[in-house]
Structure 1
Amino acid sequence: MLAEILQPAISELPDRSFFQLYAPLRLLKKALEFNQTTIGNDGAPVLLYIAQSSLTDLPPALQEDLPTPHLVQHAGKGDLYNSSIWLGTEPTYTPIHRDPNPNLFYQLCSHKIMRLLPPSIGDRVYFEVQAKIRQHGNSRIRTTEMMEGKEREALHEAIWANEKISDHLLEVDLAPGDALFIPKGWWHSVKSKNSMGHLNGSVNWWFR
């Protein structure tokens, strides 16, 4: 059933692709059910990632479960810029980037590792990667290019396999119920921790 739902969208895509797909949450539920029966039999899990999906797209009952935190409502101007939910089957990964507004990140289920760099160091690392792959990217916009292919690989290596920046790097292990404030302009990359094929969920609010 899962294959029948996905087949029209992925039939002509390479092994790893990032694309926009509007689908019911039931699709993720089916992927998790499939993974439960597959992982124990040495099969490859289905990897799905609902990345940066607006909370306003969720059913009203689920939106009520994720109210805007008091801190966000009263910090700065009290202006909520946007909010997103991140749900996926592990492993999940978001490349290094920075946001144009302060960010409050909250881990819902399973664990994530976040690595952060201050603005000046992150600027240097990001543009070194762009020069290496001879590309000109926008550091404040997450594009499909940074989620696949050579840009994805180069950004991953720069943050997760680069000893040269270890003195400047901050690493945080986020468990369910943990929240992290990310200041405006700070660079960050996020990965799920350890398990394979299980559900990982986070939510965040950008504010001004």
Structure 2
Amino acid sequence: MSAADFLLAPEVQKLLKVVFAAPTNGFSVAELARKAKLNADEVERTQEHLLKCGILTRRKSEADEPETVEANTSFVFYNELRSIALKSFAAAEPIRAMLRSKFKDSVLRAFVLGEDEDATVQLVVVHGRLVPDESEMSIACRKLSVSIGRHLNVHVISSAKYAALTPGDDLGARLADLSAVEIVSQGETKAKPAVEREGLLQSARKRLAALARR
């Protein structure tokens, strides 16, 4: 299996989405088929490819239990592959879909900062003129957490605060890190940028300029 096959094959993505969500768990063919929404033949065929590549490993099972596989955490590229999965099909895509459907009028931009050791995905949401309803956002994130097998820690900030961030700020530094991925860009939703309020000095200058033209 080539690198392109790994990244692009839908069966591989569905299988690894399940396995990487719980890398220390063992999964039988039947369980993988149910969770990944594939048939048993697709699971067995894809599973064998991933076993040969070293991405998965077999787990010893009792005599009366079905054979299971799990993520091979000793695989040389395990961390990189799991990171790719997080940023693409395993977490970023479901989060993007949720934000763009349920909060399309308020979410201006959104970023996945990465995943903590306790499998918590750090998400930054930048809102426009409308602020996402806190209760609705909390409920949507809880439901999504169950489906992707990860907790979500959401930071909601205004577009003005986002614009004011610098690399010296903790959040600004994390957004500038190469591990941060923008999953919703400005213009992809119906959210409108907030109207900036003029400062007193800028407002006074405009008034003076208007008077001077009279």
Instruction: Please give the TM-score of this superposition, normalised by the length of structure 1.
Output: 0.30
Instruction: Compare the two structures and name the one with the higher strand fraction.
Output: 1
Instruction: Please give the TM-score of this superposition, normalised by the length of structure 2.
Output: 0.29
Larger Rg computed on CA atoms: 2
